[in-house]
Structure formats: structure tokens, C-alpha cells
Amino acid sequence: MTTEEATTARARPEPIKAVPVRHPGRWVTIAVLAVLAAMFLHVLLTNDAFQWSFMIDNMFRPPIISGLVQGTVLMTVSAMVIGVGLGVAVAVMRLSTNPILRTVSWLYTWFFRAVPRLVLLAVFGNIGILWSRLEFGVPFDTQIGQLFGIDGLELRLFGFDSRDVLTGFMAGLLGLALSEAAYMAEIVRAGIQSVDPGQGEAAGALGMSRGQTLRRVVLPQAMRMIIPPTGNETIAMLKDTSLLMYVPVSMELFFQLDAVGKRTFQIFPMYVAACLWYLLLSSILLIGQYFLERHFGKGYGQTERARFRLRNLAAETGGGAAGAGGTAGRTGTGSGTGGTPG
């Protein structure tokens, strides 16, 4: 080994002996969680009060499946469709320049967000106490007739028995949908306000009307902010259908499970069955929400990653070309400068 090689060998740094950081707290947490999970599993498997065989035999009976499909699922879909549509309309009214529309929309959201859904369902379920018949016509017709000396004046166009229209299902749908619309109005309003106002101004400069701007420019961009809370509202609506038993609506999942439990005096196993059904349905909705969020979130949050990839690409392949171009530029400038005196 020559003197130069020996000097190079002495100058070369030794490999770093990195010692991984230890996290004893993580292992303690894992151990505690494992013990708690084992205790919970032990309770599920050894406690005879769960009556697993009885629960499995009864949770798939035809009345329960009918209540699941015709009550829980159908009510959730119907209430959310009406709630989302009405909520968008109320949100647009809230953002309107018309003070009357703004006031009406604010009063609507104030009322239906302030009253609990259980109370709303109880009120709509007993609406027949207030009006046995729902009639449409000129208000205060009898009083107007008395002012002019006409007794028994009736200026009513048509009417119908309230019990024929406001069945248990319709009363429950009305209560849930109107309540949901108030919450969806605030969600949609927040989503619309999250879009840069310049987007609407640019659409207006292109000749689009306010409706076209809302449908084609603003709402598609606002969907990224609207979808996550709307998914949460859908899951909450699915669970709130269990409140329909207070209307009452007999063709509903929880009502049927509760009826089986009371009839057989095995109430707790049927409540566990209800938990399992709602867990299954909520999990399906969560999967759908995940794919919707990924679809409407395309293109967002990619700027920094794209810049990082471009920076690496320029460092790997463009550095030499840039250096050559810079050298050529300097050479050309020098030639021109040198030729100027001549």
C-alpha cells in the first residue's frame, strides 16, 4: 500500500452504527390491548346470557328480513334522497341575495335542528289529533262569510282524511327527511363556500347563468367537501330508523327484533342481533363512502408529490443538459460580445 492509498483509507469515515430507537411504551400498550381483547372474547364465548344459537336462529326470520328491507333500507334511501335534494335547495336559498329567502331558510334550519328527531317523529305520528282532515282552499273562509252575513261559507278546493295519507311510514319519512334537510343544508352551504369565488366569477364571465355556474362549476368542486359529512349523515340516518318504532312503524328492523325478544322473553339476544345488523349495514355504507371520497378527491393533494417527482427527474436527467445549455449560452454571449468591438 502506497502512502497515498494509506492516507485515503485513513480519511474514509467508518460506517455509522445506528442503534434503533426502542419504544417500550408501544409493547406495553399492545400487551394491555391484547389482554382486554382476550377478556372481551372470553365474555362473548362463555356467557350463556348471549344465547348465540337462539339469536342466530331468529335474526334471519322472514319478518325481520322484511323489516330490514322494507323499513330500514327503504326508509334510509328515501329520507336521504329527499333530505339531500331539499337541503341543496335550502342551502342555495341561504346563500341568496334575497333577504326573504335567506330568512326563510334560516328559520327552517333553526327549527329542524333544534327539535330532536324522536320528538319530530312522535309529533308527525300523531298529527291526526290536530287535523282529522287536510283541506286546501281559502283560509278563514267561515269567518269571512260571517263578516258578510253568510253562514257556513266554505271555500275549500279539496281535502282528504289525514290517516289515509299520513300512514306510519309516511309520517316517519316526513319527520326524518325534513330533519335531515336542515343538516344537509349546512353541509352543502359549507361546501359551496369552500370553492374559490373566482371560479364563479370566471363562469359568469363566460356567460353562464347562476344555475349553470352552480351545477357545472361550483357543486362539482364542492363535492370533495360535501361527500364525507354526507356519508356520516347517511350512516346516522340508517341508525335513526330505529326511532320509527315510536311512530309506530311495525315494518322496521328494530321493531321486529324487539317484538321477537318480548314474545320469547329473550330480549338481550335480540338487542345483540340488532347491533350486528346495524354494524353490517354501516360497514357496507363506509365502504361505499370510501370509494366516493376517492373518486371526488382525484387531483387534490397531488401538487407537492408532482413537484417532488419533477425535481428528482430534473436532477437525474436534466442536470447535464441544463449545464450544457448554460455553457452554450455563455459561449454565444461571449462571442457576440467579442465581435462587437470588431
With cell 470588431, the residue in question is 342
Q: Is the per-residue pLDDT at 330 higher than 50?
A: no
Residue 192 contacts residue 215 (beta carbons within 8 Å): no
Cα–Cα distance for residue pair 258/274, rounded to 1 Å: 9
Residue pLDDT, tens place only, 203-255: 888 888 888 888 888 888 888 889 999 999 999 999 999 999 888 888 899 99
* DSSP state string for 87-148: HHHHHHHHTSS-HHHHHHHHHHHHHHHHS-HHHHHHHHHTGGGT-SEEEEE-TTHHHHHHHT
Task: Give SS3 for 158.
Answer: strand
Task: Give SS3 for 160.
Answer: strand
> Residues 291, 297, 303, CA angle at the centre, nearest 5°?
140
pLDDT (mean) for 38-59: 89
Question: What backbone torsions phi and psi does residue 131 show, to the nearest 5 degrees?
Answer: -130, 110
Percentage of residues of the chain with pLDDT beyond 90: 43
pLDDT band at 335; cut points 50, 70, 90: very low
pLDDT band at 326; cut points 50, 70, 90: very low
pLDDT (mean) for 1-7: 58
Q: Which of 89-98, 153-162, 176-185, 273-282 has the lowest mean pLDDT?
A: 153-162
Q: Which of 161-170, 258-267, 331-340 has the lowest mean pLDDT?
A: 331-340
Cα→Cα distances 282→117, 238, 304, Å: 20, 8, 34
Let me know how long the chain is.
342
Q: Which residue has the higher pLDDT, 281 or 158?
A: 281
pLDDT confidence of residue 45: 86
Residue pLDDT, tens place only, 266-323: 999 999 999 999 999 999 999 999 998 888 877 665 556 666 677 777 766 654 444 4
pLDDT band at 41; cut points 50, 70, 90: very high
Provide the 10 A C-beta neighbour count for residue 76.
21
Cα→Cα distances 26→19, 21, 35, 39, 40, Å: 18, 12, 14, 20, 21
Q: Which residue has the higher pLDDT, 27 or 3?
A: 27
pLDDT confidence of residue 329: 42
Q: Is the per-residue pLDDT at 198 higher than 70?
A: yes
pLDDT confidence of residue 64: 93
Cα–Cα distance for residue pair 103/91, rounded to 1 Å: 12
Q: Is the per-residue pLDDT at 46 higher than 80?
A: yes
Residue 92 contacts residue 222 (beta carbons within 8 Å): no
With cell 342555495, the residue in question is 92
Average pLDDT for the chain: 83
Residue 237 contacts residue 76 (beta carbons within 8 Å): yes
Percentage of residues of the chain with pLDDT beyond 70: 84
Cα–Cα distance for residue pair 148/73, rounded to 1 Å: 54
Cα–Cα distance for residue pair 134/136, rounded to 1 Å: 7
* DSSP state string for 152-164: T---EEEEEEHHH
Residue 174 contacts residue 183 (beta carbons within 8 Å): no
Residue 192 contacts residue 133 (beta carbons within 8 Å): no
